């Protein structure tokens, strides 16, 4: 797989020699700002590269140590693979030493070295005392078993041992997945004469090629990669774990700031909500409370918001909890991205953790389903993220494209996971829409049961109707489905002989229309009323009034029309089907004998009036019995 692409990050109290150490190792002064050089302290992030004795080249981030610049320190710490905790021998462990150590721990940096600098300023007895104190202070942190190496850059002492220790730790750092979508937090933006906009950062995920078009989040504009630099060399491709300089075309420097993210288009959703697992530092002197205002450090971004516990109302030091951050600005994040949490005021680090859902809905507190899904994500990996994304988004199916945006994974990765989950019976695939979509199996089973219950309730309320309209059923379901998706599901249920469908109706498989004795009597009376009046029936509203406009009567009347026992001729008139059949027989016989008929002749034939005969003739025209030619009708032969 070739060399690993790794980032080494410094950490430690102000003026403990971080920048001097890096300069001794690389020959580069990472304090690029004039103010930094004047004051002799690092204010912003510094970057360079280091060639190890085995000729492997690694990136180095030098962070400021002053407490005022923790925000800047955090902007660069997110991509660190190996931390160098720098402690001056003459001062030992100081407040920012402890805070930087806590931050590296919270960001899940698992490999590190304690570098004790300025050893030329102390005697051996003092140095041993400092080393012993350091061993006590790093106990129960990721540096508990890390090498502790005294150095003196000014006397060139201990540097070779430090480089050797770095080399020995590199095999323990895993290779980074290159198939991921691009995720590149921008930590520096500037303009270069003759080149235009340049951004720098650590490539966290995916690969970037010269000529790629990437999206800038959260603002949503696009930019083309004009050129790439890694370790001050032009390259055609950048890999995850590398410090990269990118010359962008199509965007001005004013449109970019630290904290923006370059990413594969369509791979992220902007949001002001994030679900996360939060762990508080053990040494805090207070409980974090539900609704507290916080500063969330994510990638190279700081954003203000509030923290809400999904269960409980506060969290004690060293405690863990599932939380939702509600932020004042839109952000983007990826699954299990690490974050650091600081108080709004005073600005001290309180904890950190990992993002479990980068585009959640607002949750009710103590929602067991949400808590279980997020706990599953915290313990699991990519497939659990895909499954629980479907589980928590139960109101509509998700396409592959939407799953990419909601999870940040590639279509290929999600496709692999969906195939596994489908075999395990954990997800359900819908076919029939514009694209394939997916539901969690729990949602599908709930949907099936809901359809059966809706139909059962419908039949109970409308037992004279042959079925429920498909569109009416679709509109009532808790899941929003397209017409193609509901038809696909109904076809599956019909195959299982649970339902039966027509062109526009659906019913339970064993449902049959059955009339009660009362309904039969009403039907007989209505039909008799129309038959008695033959070709001169009363307007149908009059019949409705005679029988009463109750829901039960209306259902019977609708049944009569659906079963074509009554035939609606126009908006006012309806005839019994026996009467219409008799009129049709008289009309056909007359035309067979005479060839044509006028409206007046048909009126006389029926012993009726124009009010009834003209609508009847127009009905027979529409039905295809006759055709109008001027003022007469002629008989249409079969198939004409």
584-600: per-residue pLDDT in tens? 999 999 999 999 999 99
Residue 36: pLDDT over 60: no
* pLDDT band per the 50, 70, 90 thresholds, residue 549: confident
pLDDT > 80? residue 628: yes
Q: Quote the percentage of the chain above a pLDDT of 70.
A: 94
- What pLDDT score does 32 carry? 45
Cα separation of 53 and 159, whole Å? 11
Determine the Cα–Cα distance for residues 482 and 404; give it in Å rounded to an integer: 21
pLDDT at residue number 33: 37
- Mind listing the pLDDT tens digit for each residue in 170-191? 889 888 888 899 999 998 888 8
The rounded percent of the chain whose pLDDT value lies above 90 is: 66
pLDDT in tens, 510-529: 999 999 999 999 999 999 99
Task: Locate 627 and state its tokens.
Answer: 């055709």
Give phi and psi for 551, each to the nearest 5. -60, -40
Residue 370's pLDDT band (cuts 50, 70, 90): very high
| Confidence at residue 71, expressed as pLDDT on a 0 to 100 scale | 62
- Reported residue count of the chain is 640
Mean pLDDT of 394-415: 91
The pLDDT value recorded for residue 520 is 94
Residue 123 · residue 135 · CB < 8 Å: no
Q: What is the pTM of this model?
A: 0.79
Residue 43 has pLDDT above 70, yes or no: no
Domains of the chain listed by start with CATH number? 7-172 (3.40.50.300), 183-263 (2.40.30.10), 271-374 (2.40.30.10), 380-498 (1.10.10.10), 517-635 (1.10.10.10)
Query: Do 413 and 420 meet the contact criterion of CB atoms below 8 Å apart?
Result: no
Q: 15-31 as b/e, with b when 16 or more CB fall inside 10 Å?
A: bbbbbbbbbbbeebebb
């Amino acid at each position: 797989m070739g060399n690993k692409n790794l980032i080494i990050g410094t950490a430690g109290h102000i003026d403990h020699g971080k920048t001097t150490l890096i300069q001794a190792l690389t020959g580069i002064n990472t304090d690029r700002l004039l103010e930094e050089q004047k004051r002799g302290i690092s204010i912003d992030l510094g970057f360079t590269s280091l060639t190890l004795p085995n000729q492997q080249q690694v990136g180095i981030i030098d962070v400021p140590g002053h407490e005022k610049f923790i925000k800047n320190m955090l902007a660069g710490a997110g991509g660190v693979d190996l931390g160098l905790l720098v402690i001056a021998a003459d001062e030992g462990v100081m407040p920012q030493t402890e805070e930087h150590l806590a931050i590296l721990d919270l960001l899940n940096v698992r490999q590190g070295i304690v570098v004790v600098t300025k050893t030329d300023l102390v005697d051996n007895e003092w140095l041993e005392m400092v080393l012993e104190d350091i061993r006590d202070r790093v106990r129960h942190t990721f540096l508990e078993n890390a090498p502790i190496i005294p150095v003196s850059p000014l006397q060139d002492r201990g540097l070779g041992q430090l480089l050797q220790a770095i080399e020995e730790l590199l095999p323990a750092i895993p290779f980074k997945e290159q198939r991921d979508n691009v995720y590149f937090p921008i930590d520096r933006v500037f303009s270069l004469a003759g080149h235009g906009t340049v951004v720098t950062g650590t490539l966290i995920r995916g690969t970037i090629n010269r000529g790629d078009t990437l999206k800038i989040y959260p603002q949503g504009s696009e930019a083309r990669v004009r050129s790439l630099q890694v370790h001050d060399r032009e390259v055609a491709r950048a890999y995850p774990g590398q410090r990269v300089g990118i010359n962008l075309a199509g965007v001005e420097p004013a449109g970019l700031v630290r904290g923006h993210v370059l990413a594969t288009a369509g791979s992220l959703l902007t949001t002001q909500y994030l679900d996360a697992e939060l762990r508080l530092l053990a040494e805090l002197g207070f409980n974090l409370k539900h609704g507290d205002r916080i500063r969330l450090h994510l990638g190279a971004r700081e954003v203000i918001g509030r923290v809400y516990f999904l269960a409980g109302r506060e969290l004690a030091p060293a405690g863990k909890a599932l939380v939702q951050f509600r932020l004042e600005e839109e952000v983007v994040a990826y699954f299990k991205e690490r974050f650091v949490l600081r108080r709004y005021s005073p600005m001290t680090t309180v904890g950190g953790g990992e993002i479990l859902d980068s585009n959640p809905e607002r949750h009710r507190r103590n929602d067991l389903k949400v808590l279980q899904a997020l706990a599953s994500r915290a313990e699991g990996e990519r497939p659990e993220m895909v499954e629980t994304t479907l589980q928590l988004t139960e109101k509509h199916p998700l396409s592959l494209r939407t799953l990419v945006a909601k999870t940040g994974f590639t279509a290929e990765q999600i496709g692999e996971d969906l195939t596994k989950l489908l075999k395990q019976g954990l997800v359900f695939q819908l076919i029939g829409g514009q694209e394939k979509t997916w539901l969690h199996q729990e949602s599908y089973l709930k949907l099936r049961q809901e359809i059966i219950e809706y139909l059962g309730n419908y039949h109970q309320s409308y037992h004279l109707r042959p079925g429920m309209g498909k569109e009416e059923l679709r509109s009532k379901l808790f899941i929003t489905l397209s017409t193609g998706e509901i038809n696909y599901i109904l076809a599956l249920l019909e195959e299982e002989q649970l339902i039966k469908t027509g062109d526009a109706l659906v019913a339970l498989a064993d449902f049959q229309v059955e009339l009660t004795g009362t309904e039969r009597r009403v039907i007989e009376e209505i039909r008799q009323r129309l038959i008695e009046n033959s070709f001169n029936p009363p307007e149908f509203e009059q019949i409705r009034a005679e029988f009463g406009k109750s829901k039960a009567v209306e259902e019977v009347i609708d049944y009569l029309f659906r079963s074509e026992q009554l035939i609606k001729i126009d908006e006012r008139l309806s005839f019994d089907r026996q009467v219409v059949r008799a009129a049709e027989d008289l009309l056909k016989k007359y035309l067979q004998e005479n060839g044509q008929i006028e409206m007046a002749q048909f009126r006389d034939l029926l012993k009726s009036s124009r009010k009834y005969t003209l609508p009847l003739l127009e009905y027979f025209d529409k039905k295809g019995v006759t055709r109008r030619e001027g003022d007469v009708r002629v008989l249409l032969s079969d198939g004409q």
